[in-house]
Protein backbone atom coordinates (compact mmCIF):
# COMPACT_ATOMS: atom_id res chain seq x y z
CA UNK A 1 0.00 0.00 0.00
CA UNK A 2 1.19 3.48 -0.83
CA UNK A 3 2.28 5.54 2.09
CA UNK A 4 -0.20 8.34 1.84
CA UNK A 5 -3.61 8.49 3.24
CA UNK A 6 -7.07 8.45 1.79
CA UNK A 7 -8.59 11.38 3.61
CA UNK A 8 -11.65 10.33 5.56
CA UNK A 9 -13.49 13.54 6.33
CA UNK A 10 -15.76 13.84 9.34
CA UNK A 11 -18.90 15.95 9.12
CA UNK A 12 -22.03 16.10 11.25
CA UNK A 13 -24.68 18.61 10.20
CA UNK A 14 -25.17 20.73 7.09
CA UNK A 15 -27.13 23.92 7.85
CA UNK A 16 -28.31 26.99 5.94
CA UNK A 17 -29.04 29.47 8.72
CA UNK A 18 -27.78 30.61 12.09
CA UNK A 19 -30.64 29.23 14.17
CA UNK A 20 -30.21 26.16 16.34
CA UNK A 21 -26.58 25.58 15.48
CA UNK A 22 -25.48 24.93 19.04
CA UNK A 23 -22.30 25.49 20.98
CA UNK A 24 -20.42 22.45 19.67
CA UNK A 25 -20.38 23.95 16.18
CA UNK A 26 -20.61 20.56 14.53
CA UNK A 27 -22.04 21.98 11.35
CA UNK A 28 -20.94 23.21 7.94
CA UNK A 29 -22.91 25.78 5.99
CA UNK A 30 -24.61 24.50 2.86
CA UNK A 31 -22.76 27.04 0.68
CA UNK A 32 -19.38 26.01 2.11
CA UNK A 33 -20.17 22.33 1.62
CA UNK A 34 -21.03 23.02 -2.00
CA UNK A 35 -17.73 24.88 -2.46
CA UNK A 36 -15.88 21.91 -1.01
CA UNK A 37 -17.55 19.44 -3.37
CA UNK A 38 -16.97 21.76 -6.29
CA UNK A 39 -13.28 21.90 -5.36
CA UNK A 40 -13.11 18.09 -5.22
CA UNK A 41 -14.77 17.75 -8.62
CA UNK A 42 -12.67 20.44 -10.31
CA UNK A 43 -9.49 18.86 -8.98
CA UNK A 44 -10.30 15.33 -10.08
CA UNK A 45 -11.08 13.74 -6.72
CA UNK A 46 -13.48 10.83 -6.53
CA UNK A 47 -15.56 9.94 -3.51
CA UNK A 48 -15.67 6.32 -2.40
CA UNK A 49 -17.32 4.43 0.45
CA UNK A 50 -16.18 1.61 2.73
CA UNK A 51 -18.50 -0.68 0.76
CA UNK A 52 -16.42 0.11 -2.35
CA UNK A 53 -13.24 -0.72 -0.42
CA UNK A 54 -14.69 -3.97 0.94
CA UNK A 55 -15.72 -5.03 -2.55
CA UNK A 56 -12.47 -3.95 -4.16
CA UNK A 57 -9.64 -4.00 -1.59
CA UNK A 58 -6.95 -3.48 -4.26
CA UNK A 59 -8.58 -0.32 -5.56
CA UNK A 60 -6.23 2.49 -6.62
CA UNK A 61 -6.49 5.00 -3.80
CA UNK A 62 -5.05 7.97 -5.64
CA UNK A 63 -7.27 11.05 -5.39
CA UNK A 64 -9.95 9.23 -3.48
CA UNK A 65 -11.81 10.83 -0.59
CA UNK A 66 -14.33 9.39 1.86
CA UNK A 67 -16.98 11.81 3.13
CA UNK A 68 -18.53 10.65 6.40
CA UNK A 69 -21.43 12.13 8.37
CA UNK A 70 -22.05 11.14 11.98
CA UNK A 71 -25.40 10.62 13.73
CA UNK A 72 -27.87 10.78 10.78
CA UNK A 73 -29.36 14.27 11.10
CA UNK A 74 -32.41 15.18 9.05
CA UNK A 75 -30.43 17.97 7.36
CA UNK A 76 -28.25 15.28 5.79
CA UNK A 77 -31.33 14.41 3.75
CA UNK A 78 -32.80 17.88 3.19
CA UNK A 79 -29.59 19.87 2.58
CA UNK A 80 -26.59 17.58 2.09
CA UNK A 81 -28.16 14.97 -0.20
CA UNK A 82 -29.31 17.39 -2.97
CA UNK A 83 -25.78 18.85 -3.20
CA UNK A 84 -24.19 15.42 -3.17
CA UNK A 85 -26.48 14.33 -6.02
CA UNK A 86 -25.67 17.45 -8.01
CA UNK A 87 -21.99 16.42 -8.01
CA UNK A 88 -22.82 12.70 -8.32
CA UNK A 89 -20.74 12.05 -5.22
CA UNK A 90 -21.09 9.40 -2.55
CA UNK A 91 -20.87 9.57 1.22
CA UNK A 92 -21.14 7.43 4.33
CA UNK A 93 -23.67 8.20 7.06
CA UNK A 94 -23.31 6.68 10.53
CA UNK A 95 -26.73 6.10 12.05
CA UNK A 96 -27.83 6.11 15.67
CA UNK A 97 -30.74 3.70 15.35
CA UNK A 98 -32.65 4.15 18.60
CA UNK A 99 -32.93 7.94 18.60
CA UNK A 100 -35.27 10.26 16.75
CA UNK A 101 -33.25 13.29 17.85
CA UNK A 102 -29.88 14.12 19.44
CA UNK A 103 -30.78 13.05 23.00
CA UNK A 104 -27.08 13.01 23.98
CA UNK A 105 -26.59 16.57 22.71
CA UNK A 106 -29.71 17.94 24.37
CA UNK A 107 -28.37 16.48 27.62
CA UNK A 108 -25.34 18.78 27.21
CA UNK A 109 -27.48 21.81 26.42
CA UNK A 110 -27.46 21.55 22.62
CA UNK A 111 -30.60 22.45 20.67
CA UNK A 112 -32.82 19.53 19.70
CA UNK A 113 -32.19 18.32 16.15
CA UNK A 114 -34.23 15.64 14.42
CA UNK A 115 -32.76 12.55 12.82
CA UNK A 116 -33.74 11.23 9.40
CA UNK A 117 -36.68 8.85 9.18
CA UNK A 118 -36.37 5.35 7.75
CA UNK A 119 -37.84 6.36 4.40
CA UNK A 120 -35.17 9.02 3.95
CA UNK A 121 -32.44 6.58 4.96
CA UNK A 122 -33.75 4.01 2.45
CA UNK A 123 -33.82 6.50 -0.38
CA UNK A 124 -30.25 7.65 0.27
CA UNK A 125 -29.08 4.07 0.58
CA UNK A 126 -30.62 3.25 -2.81
CA UNK A 127 -28.77 6.22 -4.32
CA UNK A 128 -25.45 4.73 -3.15
CA UNK A 129 -24.84 6.45 0.16
CA UNK A 130 -23.44 3.89 2.58
CA UNK A 131 -25.36 3.58 5.84
CA UNK A 132 -23.05 2.53 8.66
CA UNK A 133 -23.50 1.96 12.40
CA UNK A 134 -23.00 4.48 15.21
CA UNK A 135 -24.58 2.45 18.06
CA UNK A 136 -28.22 2.35 19.08
CA UNK A 137 -28.16 5.17 21.63
CA UNK A 138 -24.92 7.10 21.07
CA UNK A 139 -23.08 5.81 24.12
CA UNK A 140 -19.39 6.23 24.92
CA UNK A 141 -18.37 2.61 24.37
CA UNK A 142 -15.09 3.05 26.22
CA UNK A 143 -17.19 3.43 29.38
CA UNK A 144 -19.57 0.50 28.72
CA UNK A 145 -19.47 -3.09 29.96
CA UNK A 146 -18.81 -5.61 27.18
CA UNK A 147 -22.40 -6.88 27.15
CA UNK A 148 -23.74 -3.38 26.68
CA UNK A 149 -21.20 -2.58 23.96
CA UNK A 150 -22.20 -5.76 22.17
CA UNK A 151 -25.88 -4.83 22.32
CA UNK A 152 -25.16 -1.29 21.12
CA UNK A 153 -22.87 -2.34 18.25
CA UNK A 154 -24.34 -5.62 17.00
CA UNK A 155 -27.89 -4.39 17.64
CA UNK A 156 -27.23 -1.24 15.64
CA UNK A 157 -25.84 -3.32 12.78
CA UNK A 158 -29.06 -5.36 12.69
CA UNK A 159 -31.15 -2.18 12.72
CA UNK A 160 -29.22 -0.58 9.86
CA UNK A 161 -29.45 -3.75 7.77
CA UNK A 162 -33.18 -4.02 8.41
CA UNK A 163 -33.68 -0.44 7.19
CA UNK A 164 -31.48 -0.61 4.09
CA UNK A 165 -31.73 -4.29 3.18
CA UNK A 166 -27.95 -4.19 2.68
CA UNK A 167 -25.00 -5.42 4.73
CA UNK A 168 -23.62 -2.73 7.06
CA UNK A 169 -19.88 -2.64 6.46
CA UNK A 170 -18.50 0.16 8.60
CA UNK A 171 -18.98 1.56 12.08
CA UNK A 172 -18.15 4.85 13.85
CA UNK A 173 -17.40 5.01 17.60
CA UNK A 174 -19.52 7.75 19.27
CA UNK A 175 -17.39 10.46 20.94
CA UNK A 176 -14.38 8.62 19.51
CA UNK A 177 -14.65 6.37 22.60
CA UNK A 178 -12.33 3.45 21.78
CA UNK A 179 -10.37 0.76 23.52
CA UNK A 180 -9.11 -2.65 22.44
CA UNK A 181 -12.19 -4.44 23.80
CA UNK A 182 -14.55 -2.17 21.88
CA UNK A 183 -12.56 -2.62 18.67
CA UNK A 184 -12.74 -6.38 19.14
CA UNK A 185 -16.51 -6.25 19.62
CA UNK A 186 -16.92 -4.17 16.44
CA UNK A 187 -14.94 -6.82 14.58
CA UNK A 188 -16.88 -9.72 16.12
CA UNK A 189 -20.17 -8.00 15.31
CA UNK A 190 -19.34 -8.38 11.63
CA UNK A 191 -18.16 -4.93 10.62
CA UNK A 192 -15.22 -4.75 8.19
CA UNK A 193 -14.06 -1.23 9.07
CA UNK A 194 -14.47 1.16 11.99
CA UNK A 195 -13.65 4.85 12.09
CA UNK A 196 -12.50 6.93 15.04
CA UNK A 197 -12.26 10.70 15.31
CA UNK A 198 -8.71 12.02 15.54
CA UNK A 199 -6.99 8.90 16.85
CA UNK A 200 -5.41 5.92 15.10
CA UNK A 201 -2.52 5.46 12.67
CA UNK A 202 -1.95 8.22 10.12
CA UNK A 203 -1.47 5.69 7.36
CA UNK A 204 -4.81 4.67 5.94
CA UNK A 205 -5.65 0.99 6.35
CA UNK A 206 -3.00 0.23 8.96
CA UNK A 207 -5.71 -0.42 11.55
CA UNK A 208 -9.07 -1.16 9.95
CA UNK A 209 -10.81 -0.78 13.31
CA UNK A 210 -9.38 2.60 14.18
CA UNK A 211 -9.38 4.62 10.99
CA UNK A 212 -8.50 8.22 11.66
CA UNK A 213 -10.75 10.96 10.35
CA UNK A 214 -10.22 14.65 9.70
CA UNK A 215 -12.98 16.93 10.95
CA UNK A 216 -14.52 19.61 8.77
CA UNK A 217 -16.52 22.30 10.58
CA UNK A 218 -17.87 25.79 9.96
CA UNK A 219 -14.45 27.09 10.94
CA UNK A 220 -12.69 25.16 8.15
CA UNK A 221 -11.60 27.67 5.53
CA UNK A 222 -11.02 26.63 1.91
CA UNK A 223 -7.20 26.68 2.23
CA UNK A 224 -7.48 24.37 5.20
CA UNK A 225 -9.94 22.11 3.38
CA UNK A 226 -7.48 21.73 0.48
CA UNK A 227 -4.81 20.84 2.99
CA UNK A 228 -7.06 18.23 4.60
CA UNK A 229 -7.78 16.40 1.35
CA UNK A 230 -4.29 16.65 -0.14
CA UNK A 231 -2.50 14.44 2.37
CA UNK A 232 -0.35 17.41 3.47
CA UNK A 233 -2.41 17.52 6.60
CA UNK A 234 -0.59 14.43 7.83
CA UNK A 235 2.69 14.54 5.97
CA UNK A 236 4.97 17.42 5.00
CA UNK A 237 4.86 18.22 1.29
CA UNK A 238 8.50 17.32 0.65
CA UNK A 239 8.03 13.92 2.30
CA UNK A 240 4.98 13.22 0.15
CA UNK A 241 6.74 14.25 -3.04
CA UNK A 242 9.56 11.85 -2.25
CA UNK A 243 7.07 9.03 -1.79
CA UNK A 244 5.06 9.89 -4.88
CA UNK A 245 8.20 10.02 -7.00
CA UNK A 246 8.87 6.40 -6.12
CA UNK A 247 11.48 6.62 -3.37
CA UNK A 248 9.53 4.42 -1.05
CA UNK A 249 10.45 1.16 0.53
CA UNK A 250 7.01 -0.37 0.90
ZN1 LIG B 1 -21.97 10.94 17.01
Bridge partners, 115 (sequence order):
73
Ligand 1 center to 96 CA (angstroms): 8
From the CB of residue 57, how many other CB atoms can be counted at a distance below 10 Å?
9
Cα 45 from Cα 24, distance rounded (Å): 29
How many domains, in total, are found in the chain?
1
- Does the residue 173 lie in any domain? yes
Encode the chain (250 residues) as per-residue pLDDT tens digits: 443 578 999 999 999 987 666 777 789 999 999 999 999 999 999 999 999 999 998 888 889 999 999 999 999 999 999 999 999 999 999 999 999 999 999 998 888 999 999 999 999 999 999 999 999 999 999 999 999 999 999 999 999 999 999 999 999 999 999 999 999 999 999 999 999 998 888 778 789 999 999 999 999 999 999 989 986 666 555 555 555 565 444 4
What Å distances lie between residue 114 and 48, 126, 189, CA to CA? 27, 22, 28
Q: Are 59 and 52 in contact (CB under 8 A)?
A: yes
Contacts of 9 (CB under 8 A, 6+ apart): 65, 66, 67, 68, 213, 214, 215, 216, 228, 229
- Does the residue 3 lie in any domain? no
Ligand 1 center to 173 CA (angstroms): 8
The pLDDT assigned to 26 comes to 85
- Does the residue 202 lie in any domain? yes
Ligand 1 center to 86 CA (angstroms): 26
The pLDDT assigned to 206 comes to 85
Phi then psi dihedrals of residue 8, to 5 deg: -110, 105
Ligand 1 center to 241 CA (angstroms): 35
- Does the residue 2 lie in any domain? no
Ligand 1 center to 11 CA (angstroms): 10
Q: Are 79 and 16 in contact (CB under 8 A)?
A: yes
Ligand 1 center to 242 CA (angstroms): 37
The pLDDT assigned to 249 comes to 42
The pLDDT assigned to 230 comes to 86
The pLDDT assigned to 3 comes to 39
Ligand 1 center to 16 CA (angstroms): 20
From the CB of residue 181, how many other CB atoms can be counted at a distance below 10 Å?
14
Ligand 1 center to 191 CA (angstroms): 18
What Å distances lie between residue 22 and 101, 102, 117, 177, CA to CA? 14, 12, 22, 22
Ligand 1 center to 175 CA (angstroms): 6
- Does the residue 207 lie in any domain? yes
Ligand 1 center to 71 CA (angstroms): 5
Ligand 1 center to 249 CA (angstroms): 38
- Nearest residue to 199 via CA among 186, 184, 214: 214
Query: Per residue in 213-239, is it b (16+ CB within 10 Å) or e — as a string?
Result: bbebeeebeeeebebbbbbeebbeeee
- Does the residue 26 lie in any domain? yes
Ligand 1 center to 63 CA (angstroms): 27
The CATH number that applies at residue 18 is: 3.20.20.370
- Does the residue 250 lie in any domain? no
Domain ranges, residue 173: 8-244
Q: Cα–chain-centroid distance for residue 57?
A: 18
Cα 159 from Cα 35, distance rounded (Å): 34
- Does the residue 249 lie in any domain? no
Ligand 1 center to 179 CA (angstroms): 17
Ligand 1 center to 176 CA (angstroms): 8
Amino acid sequence: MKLYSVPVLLYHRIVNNQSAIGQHKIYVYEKDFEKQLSYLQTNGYQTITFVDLAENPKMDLTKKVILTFDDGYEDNYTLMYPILKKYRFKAVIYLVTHADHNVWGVREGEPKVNMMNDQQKKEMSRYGIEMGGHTRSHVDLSKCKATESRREIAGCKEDVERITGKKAVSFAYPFGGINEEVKQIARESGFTFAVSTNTGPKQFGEDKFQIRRIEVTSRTRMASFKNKVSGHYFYPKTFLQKILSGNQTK
